[in-house]
């Protein structure tokens, strides 16, 4: 079975691409995805690689992968003259945001956000695809600083856990740029490594053993991450452009199929919640707590929400109101506590119930969200609990065999 499309980068379409990645920060699978992207970089017009971690990563992590690419570059170039030089790739590698945005959703311009603006304003009739593998912060900052670029952008966002850490930037975009063209992929991406044909050499481990290890510097670099097991959870954003019809998210592609949504789930509660209070999975929970009137910058955290030993900052929004956002990624009962130097906000506790995302919750004003797509939540397209994942895993053998051919270029 094959994606029924004659479009995509592998069919000769040239797409302008910016990759924004949390490589080296929160998620090591970005190293694998970056290797994959560079092996296909001859079919794209790459305009920037932006480091946008919320953890320990920096631009140096991208440059480390480019160093491996440079070793394999002569062999790659012998197969295709379209591969960009290592020097060019280094010149467009930019440092983005390090810290998550405050409650308002943006902060200060970064080298990465400024570069997004510069690329979007180029005299080029083609749209600019921004593949978000980490935080939305640099995109939100660019839109805040240059709202005129919005119509030029096409955003494919690997959300899910990434969204959890960048909710303030996410909410800024949703509230202020609801007509932005965006695919919000919360669970479909998991089809890259869950489900599909995993027999013999197509398993997450056996594919690496047979077709990645020993395949040049890039192959060996890939194999040393995640114990030589495929994850590459951000790669569907690239695969979406490789084979499919990128301007039509509803159609089949290697990067999944999506449905248009008229609303995004959000639950706002005043005061602490209990188990009767609900939030949809991958939806936004916003808590509004009362506290003392204080002199404090709205960009400086005032308290923290502690969930599963992870810390999420809350902010003072004036008039005695303190707000914090959180996103649950699985259904079930969740609990939280608070921590603060402000006595009234320290040591509080609550809980809530996370329920499945609903069709009813997606209904809204489609005129407000005319270009927003997300996962198909029909159970027949799910791999286990991962909604929409079969729209990627269905093509597993096809896209991995193509990746195998790419890796052979490094031999």
Q: Look up the pTM and report it.
A: 0.97
In CATH, what number is assigned to the domain containing residue 236?
3.90.245.10
State mean pLDDT over 353-374: 92
Q: Is residue 198 part of a domain?
A: yes
Residue 55: the pLDDT is 67
Q: Is residue 4 part of a domain?
A: no
Residues 250-300: tens digit of each pLDDT: 999 999 999 999 999 999 999 999 999 999 999 999 999 999 999 999 999
In this structure, the answer to whether residues 201 and 102 fall within a common structural domain is: yes
Residue 2: the pLDDT is 60
In this structure, the answer to whether residues 87 and 142 fall within a common structural domain is: yes
Residue 332: domain span:
266-356
Residue 28: the pLDDT is 81
Q: Which of 94-98, 155-159, 205-209 has the lowest mean pLDDT?
A: 94-98
Our count of domains for the chain comes to: 2
State mean pLDDT over 232-240: 97
In this structure, the answer to whether residues 118 and 26 fall within a common structural domain is: yes
In this structure, the answer to whether residues 342 and 379 fall within a common structural domain is: no
Residue 26: the pLDDT is 63
Residues 20-40: tens digit of each pLDDT: 999 986 678 999 999 999 999
Is residue 391 pLDDT above 90, yes or no?
Answer: yes
In this structure, the answer to whether residues 148 and 15 fall within a common structural domain is: yes
pLDDT band, residue 141 (cuts 50/70/90): very high
In this structure, the answer to whether residues 321 and 373 fall within a common structural domain is: no
In this structure, the answer to whether residues 271 and 256 fall within a common structural domain is: no
Name the nearest CA neighbour of 248 among 257, 239, 261: 257
Task: Tell which of 356, 376, 400 closes a domain.
Answer: 356
Is residue 56 pLDDT above 80, yes or no?
Answer: no
In this structure, the answer to whether residues 312 and 384 fall within a common structural domain is: no
């Amino acid at each position: 079975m094959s994606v029924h499309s004659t479009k995509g980068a592998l069919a000769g379409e040239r797409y302008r691409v910016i990759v924004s990645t949390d490589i080296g920060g929160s998620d090591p699978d970005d190293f694998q995805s970056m290797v994959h992207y560079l092996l296909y970089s001859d079919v794209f017009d790459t305009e920037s690689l932006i480091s946008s971690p919320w953890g320990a990563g920096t631009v140096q992590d991208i440059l480390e992968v480019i160093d491996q690419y440079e070793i394999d570059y002569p062999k790659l170039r012998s197969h295709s003259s379209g591969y960009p030089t290592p020097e060019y790739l280094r010149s467009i590698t930019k440092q983005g945001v390090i810290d998550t945005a405050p409650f308002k959703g943006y902060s200060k311009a970064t080298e990465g956000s400024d570069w997004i603006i510069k690329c979007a304003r180029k005299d080029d009739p083609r749209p600019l695809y921004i593949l978000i593998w980490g935080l939305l912060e640099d995109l939100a900052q660019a839109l805040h600083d240059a709202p005129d670029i919005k119509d030029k952008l096409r955003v494919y966002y690997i959300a899910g856990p990434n969204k959890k850490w960048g909710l303030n930037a996410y909410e800024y975009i949703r509230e202020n740029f609801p007509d932005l063209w965006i695919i919000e992929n919360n669970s479909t991406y998991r089809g890259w490594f869950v489900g599909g044909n995993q027999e013999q050499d197509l398993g997450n481990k056996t594919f690496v053993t047979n077709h990645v290890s020993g395949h040049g510097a890039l192959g060996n670099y890939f194999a040393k991450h995640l114990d030589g097991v495929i994850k590459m959870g951000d790669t569907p954003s690239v695969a979406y452009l490789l084979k499919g019809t990128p301007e039509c998210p509803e159609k089949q592609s290697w990067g999944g199929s999506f449905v248009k949504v008229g609303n995004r789930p959000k639950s706002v509660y005043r005061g602490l919640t209990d188990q009767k209070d609900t939030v949809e999975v991958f939806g936004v929970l916003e808590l509004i707590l009362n506290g003392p009137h204080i002199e404090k910058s709205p960009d400086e955290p005032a308290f923290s929400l502690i969930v599963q030993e992870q810390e999420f900052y809350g902010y003072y929004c004036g008039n005695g109101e303190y707000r914090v956002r959180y996103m649950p990624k699985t259904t079930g009962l969740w609990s939280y506590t608070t921590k603060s130097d402000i006595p009234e906000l320290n040591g509080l506790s609550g809980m809530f119930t996370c329920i499945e995302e609903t069709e009813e919750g997606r209904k809204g004003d489609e005129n407000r969200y005319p270009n927003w797509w997300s996962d198909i939540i029909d159970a027949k397209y799910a791999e286990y609990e991962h909604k929409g994942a079969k729209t990627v895993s269905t093509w597993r053998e096809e896209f991995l065999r193509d990746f195998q051919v790419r890796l052979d270029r490094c031999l």
